[in-house]
């Protein structure tokens, strides 16, 4: 596949704490083409953000490590780049925006400074040109009066406007890949839609690939071509968005889908939830990570790790009971008191 | 900003007035009669009374006070009882000496303390970090008079590198002048240096974990700029607060350091004046230091605004809000 921009194979990420090793991500695989959008979903602590941070090689020094795996970006082996080469990739080829726009802009520099800095880090242009570029980028992300706004500080912007500024910074060097780590979680619903719309239109224009990390399945259906469902550091299910929407197979994916607010919940019924909490990743887990919370778990789930199986084209599931020949029967919803 | 500074300067007047009252009352509370001290143990009671009359010490306190305030309002700090010189000229003789010592101590403290704190924070829990922290702990706890004496003992007496006491003059040459400055500056710099290192470290540690630092790294910036530009500017506010306190303390005259090194500065002027019950000089110098103190505070408040654009002066009664 010539237009494959990012390929991640068997990525493991470990964190060293004082007493133990936390295996935060185990064997994640990603394949992303030009202009494609990949969603990574899962609950807090499932390894979504860690995976993204690992792609940028921004794991905390001395604490986070990548013991196994291969990341190929645009033909380059990311994990073998020198620090300097990696800095050239960051912000230039791969850019990132974060969850909370209120805290991800530096409060003591003007937004203009912060955009200019991103540009000037990677391009040999004069201060004046950089300033014009900053104004242009603010215009691109739909900030009114960019000539005036460029001299203002982040605290003079609203949350949605700040996220637009973050997008302006991220896209200022025309990156090939944009990693958006829950870009709309901290925003009002109406603003969320605007930001997603903006990302989509800029993606169209610049042929950017996007990795969208979220726990909002609505965002995934809206934005993504492919999706990876993560649970406790593992990929439990992945495939095309349409396939997974129409035919989800992993019990955890079912749980996620059922935990959404629907008409049923609005009519006064309780919101279903997956009982229990994710396993402690400091302890070794022999079987399936989801076994303790899975209503369908049998003996084998506690003893043997399920291998990923391609049940139909591009649709991969890691469950002992969801194979080509075998299917689980979906049970009633579980309500939590 | 200009309006704010003007307003703050006007606000200073009541502060200084209150300080003047307190200083006046306290100096009258110092036990011992200046007239008796001036005339010595052999003086007769009549002589002492006569001198007290001359000095106006027999006037009722409130008369003395209004006299004092009236003079102050005209910029008159009074005439020293022991030196027979206007207090202001005594201060102006000594203050430049204190200033030069304070500035060199401050430069040493800032140039070593702040980088040490930054390195310590960016390499948290490393050997480097522990070393800086242990040294700075020693620095804030070491008794200045002991350190000063030890430095003199080693560098002046044993090695003979620097003079043990006194302040050089430019006439003796620049090198001699600097040589006189070295030991007192190092002695005086120790506490501020250690304090800067500790506050810089803790302030930087707080900032380094912020999201915008991750943003800066994600832009592909060199770690030097991430720490030195993005993190440091945010960490500056608490450092400025400490800087203000240290500068005020240094400009007030370093009594211990000036005494050890026979440095002719403000600190020694005050100590001598107290010794001789020269309350006019005590009043004048303390008031002068109080004025320096409030001016330094004002300067720091203005710096807050420059460092941190979120500081808003338009509301409330001055001071740095967040």
Choice among A96-100, B65-69, B132-136, B140-144 with the minimum mean pLDDT: B65-69
Q: Does A100 touch chain B (CB under 8 A)?
A: yes
Give me the CATH code for the B87-206+243-299 domain, please. 1.10.3720.10
Whether A153 sits inside 8 A of B309 (CB atoms) is yes
Q: How far apart are CA B13 and CA B17, in angstroms?
A: 6
Whether A91 sits inside 8 A of B307 (CB atoms) is no
> Half-sphere exposure of residue A51, counting CA atoms within 13 Å on the CB side?
36
Give a yes or no: residue A83 inside a domain. Answer: no
Q: Which of A212, A213, A287 is nearest to A46 (CA)?
A: A213
- Is A334:A271 a contact under the CB 8 Å cutoff? no
Q: Over range B179-189, report the average pLDDT.
A: 86
Give a yes or no: residue A58 inside a domain. Answer: no
Give a yes or no: residue A214 inside a domain. Answer: no
Report B:209-268 residues touching A (Cβ under 8 A): 210-212, 214-222, 230, 233-234
Residue A117 with chain B: CB contacts under 8 Å: 219, 221
Q: Which residue of B has its CA nearest to A151?
A: B309
Residue A106 with chain B: CB contacts under 8 Å: 212, 215-216, 230, 233-234
Q: Which residue of A has its CA nearest to B223?
A: A87
Specify the pLDDT at position B280: 83
Q: How many CB pairs below 8 A link A and B?
A: 67
Closest partner residue to A105 (CB to CB) among B215, B220, B310 is B215
Sort strands A315-317 and A234-240 into parallel, antiparallel or unpaired. antiparallel
Whether A104 sits inside 8 A of B217 (CB atoms) is no
Q: Which of B162, B179, B189, B201 is nearest to B257 (CA)?
A: B189
Work out the minimum CA distance from A106 to partner chain B, whole angstroms.
5
Give a yes or no: residue A228 inside a domain. Answer: no
Q: Over range A5-24, report the average pLDDT.
A: 88
Q: Which residue of B has its CA nearest to A99?
A: B211
| The two structure tokens encoding residue A234 | 């593992």
- Is A4:A32 a contact under the CB 8 Å cutoff? yes
The yes-or-no verdict on residue B81 having pLDDT over 70 is yes
- φ/ψ of B130, rounded to 5, equals -60, -40
> Half-sphere exposure of residue B180, counting CA atoms within 13 Å on the CB side?
19
Q: How far apart are CA A304 and CA B11, in angstroms?
A: 76
The yes-or-no verdict on residue A332 having pLDDT over 80 is no
| The two structure tokens encoding residue B315 | 């509301």
Q: Does A90 touch chain B (CB under 8 A)?
A: yes
How crowded is residue B10: how many other Cβ atoms within 10 Å of its Cβ?
9
Whether B219 sits inside 8 A of A121 (CB atoms) is yes
Q: How far apart are CA A330 and CA A254, in angstroms?
A: 8
Q: How far apart are CA B301 and CA A8, in angstroms?
A: 52
Residue in B122, B215, B232 to test binding to A, most A beta-carbons within 10 Å: B215
| The two structure tokens encoding residue A26 | 């185990």
Alpha helices in A216-323 (DSSP H): 217-223, 241-246, 251-258, 263-266, 299-303
pLDDT band for position B112 (50/70/90)? very high
Residues 6+ apart with CB under 8 A from A298: A320, A321
Work out the minimum CA distance from B157 to partner chain A, whole angstroms.
48
Residue A209 φ/ψ region, left for φ over 0, alpha for ψ in the -120 to 50 degree band, beta for the rest: beta
pLDDT band for position A195 (50/70/90)? confident
Specify the pLDDT at position B46: 82
Specify the pLDDT at position B253: 63
Work out the minimum CA distance from B303 to partner chain A, whole angstroms.
13
Range of the domain at A128: 105-174
Closest partner residue to B220 (CB to CB) among A90, A106, A153 is A90
Closest partner residue to B218 (CB to CB) among A88, A95, A107 is A95
pLDDT tens-place string over residues B194-248: 999 999 999 999 998 888 998 898 988 888 999 988 999 989 889 998 998 888 8
Choice among A186-190, A248-252, B317-321 with the minimum mean pLDDT: B317-321
| Residue with token string 């493991």 | A12
Q: Which residue of A has its CA nearest to B310?
A: A155
Q: Over range A196-220, report the average pLDDT.
A: 88
Q: If you ran DSSP here, which 8-state letter would residue A328 be given?
A: P
Query: In angstroms, how far is CA A155 from the centroid of its own chain?
Result: 27
Report A:141-160 residues touching B (Cβ under 8 A): 153, 155
Give a yes or no: residue A70 inside a domain. Answer: no
Alpha helices in chain B (DSSP H): 2-29, 34-39, 45-55, 61-73, 87-122, 127-141, 144-151, 174-208, 211-218, 223-225, 232-251, 255-260, 266-275, 279-307
Q: Which residue of A has its CA nearest to B309?
A: A108
Instruction: State how many domains chain A has.
Output: 1
The yes-or-no verdict on residue B7 having pLDDT over 60 is yes
Determine the 3-state secondary structure of A176 from DSSP. coil
| The two structure tokens encoding residue A11 | 């990525």
Closest partner residue to A105 (CB to CB) among B212, B217, B218 is B212
Q: How far apart are CA B168 and CA A46, in angstroms?
A: 69
Q: Does A103 touch chain B (CB under 8 A)?
A: yes
Torsion angle in degrees (nearest 10) through CA of B31, B34, B37, B42: -110
Closest partner residue to A58 (CB to CB) among B211, B217, B233 is B217
Q: How far is CA A100 from CA A37, A264, B209, in A?
A: 21, 31, 14
Q: Which of A146-155, A192-201, A303-312 has the highest mean pLDDT?
A: A146-155
Q: Which residue of B has its CA nearest to A169?
A: B219
Give a yes or no: residue A119 inside a domain. Answer: yes
Whether B219 sits inside 8 A of A118 (CB atoms) is yes
Q: Does A166 touch chain B (CB under 8 A)?
A: yes
Give a yes or no: residue A120 inside a domain. Answer: yes
Specify the pLDDT at position B322: 34
What residues does CATH 1.10.3720.10 cover in chain B? 87-206+243-299
Give a yes or no: residue A161 inside a domain. Answer: yes
Q: How far apart are CA A180 and CA A177, in angstroms?
A: 10
> Half-sphere exposure of residue A74, counting CA atoms within 13 Å on the CB side?
12
């Amino acid at each position: 596949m010539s237009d494959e921009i990012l390929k991640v194979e068997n990525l493991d990420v470990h964190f060293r704490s004082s007493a133990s090793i936390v295996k935060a991500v185990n064997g994640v695989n990603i394949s992303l083409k030009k202009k494609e959008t990949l969603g990574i979903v899962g609950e807090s602590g499932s390894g979504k953000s860690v995976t993204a941070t690992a792609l940028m090689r921004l794991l905390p020094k001395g604490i986070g490590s990548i013991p196994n795996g291969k990341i190929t970006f645009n033909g380059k082996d990311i994990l073998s780049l020198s620090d300097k080469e990696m800095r050239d990739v960051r912000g230039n080829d791969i850019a990132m925006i974060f969850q909370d726009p209120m805290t991800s802009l530096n409060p003591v520099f003007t937004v203009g400074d912060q955009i200019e800095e991103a540009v000037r880090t990677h391009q040999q242009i004069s201060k004046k040109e950089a300033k014009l570029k900053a104004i242009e980028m603010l215009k691109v992300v739909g900030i009114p009066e960019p000539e005036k706004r460029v001299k203002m500080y982040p605290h003079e912007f609203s949350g949605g406007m700040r996220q637009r500024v973050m997008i302006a910074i991220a896209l200022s060097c025309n990156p090939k890949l944009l990693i958006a780590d829950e870009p709309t979680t901290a925003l009002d619903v109406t603003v969320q839609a605007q930001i997603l719309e903006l990302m989509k239109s800029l993606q169209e224009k610049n042929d950017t690939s996007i990795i969208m990390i979220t726990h909002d399945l609505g965002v995934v259906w809206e934005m993504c071509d492919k999706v990876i469902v993560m649970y406790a550091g593992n990929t439990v299910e992945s495939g095309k968005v349409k396939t997974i929407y129409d035919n989800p197979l992993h019990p955890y994916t079912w749980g996620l889908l059922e935990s959404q607010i629907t008409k049923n919940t609005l009519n006064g019924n309780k919101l279903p939830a997956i009982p229990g909490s994710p396993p402690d990743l400091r302890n070794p887990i022999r079987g399936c990570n989801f076994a303790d919370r899975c209503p369908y778990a049998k003996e084998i789930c506690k003893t043997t790790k399920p291998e990923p199986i391609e049940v139909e084209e591009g649709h991969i599931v890691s469950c002992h009971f969801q194979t080509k020949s075998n299917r689980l029967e979906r049970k009633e919803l579980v309500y939590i008191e | 900003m200009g309006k704010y500074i003007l307003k703050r300067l006007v606000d200073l007047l009541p502060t200084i007035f209150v300080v003047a009252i307190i200083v006046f009352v306290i100096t009258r509370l110092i036990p011992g009669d200046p007239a008796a001290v001036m005339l010595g143990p052999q003086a007769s009671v009549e002589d002492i009374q006569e001198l007290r009359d001359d000095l106006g010490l027999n006037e009722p306190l409130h008369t003395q006070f209004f006299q004092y305030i009236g003079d102050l309002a005209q910029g008159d700090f009074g005439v020293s009882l022991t030196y027979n010189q206007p207090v202001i000229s005594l201060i102006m003789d000594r203050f430049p000496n204190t200033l030069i010592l304070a500035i060199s101590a401050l430069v040493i403290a800032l140039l070593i303390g702040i980088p040490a704190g930054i390195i310590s924070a960016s390499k948290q829990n490393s050997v480097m970090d522990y070393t800086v922290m242990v040294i700075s702990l020693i620095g804030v706890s070491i008794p200045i008079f002991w350190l000063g004496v030890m430095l003199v003992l080693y560098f002046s007496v044993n090695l003979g590198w620097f003079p043990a006491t006194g302040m050089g003059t430019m006439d003796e040459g620049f090198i001699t002048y600097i040589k006189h400055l070295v030991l007192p500056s190092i002695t005086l710099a120790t506490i501020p240096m250690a304090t800067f290192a500790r506050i810089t470290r803790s302030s930087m540690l707080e900032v380094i974990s912020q999201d915008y630092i991750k943003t800066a790294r994600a832009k592909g910036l060199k770690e030097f700029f991430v720490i030195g530009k993005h993190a440091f500017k945010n960490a500056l506010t608490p450092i400025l607060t400490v800087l203000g306190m240290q500068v005020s303390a240094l400009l007030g005259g370093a009594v211990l350091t000036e005494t050890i090194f026979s440095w002719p500065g403000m600190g020694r002027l005050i100590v001598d004046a107290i010794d001789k019950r020269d309350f006019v000089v005590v009043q004048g110098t303390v008031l002068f230091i109080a004025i320096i103190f409030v001016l330094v505070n004002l300067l720091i408040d203005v710096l807050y605004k420059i460092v941190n654009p979120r500081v808003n002066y338009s509301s409330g009664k001055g001071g740095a809000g967040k």
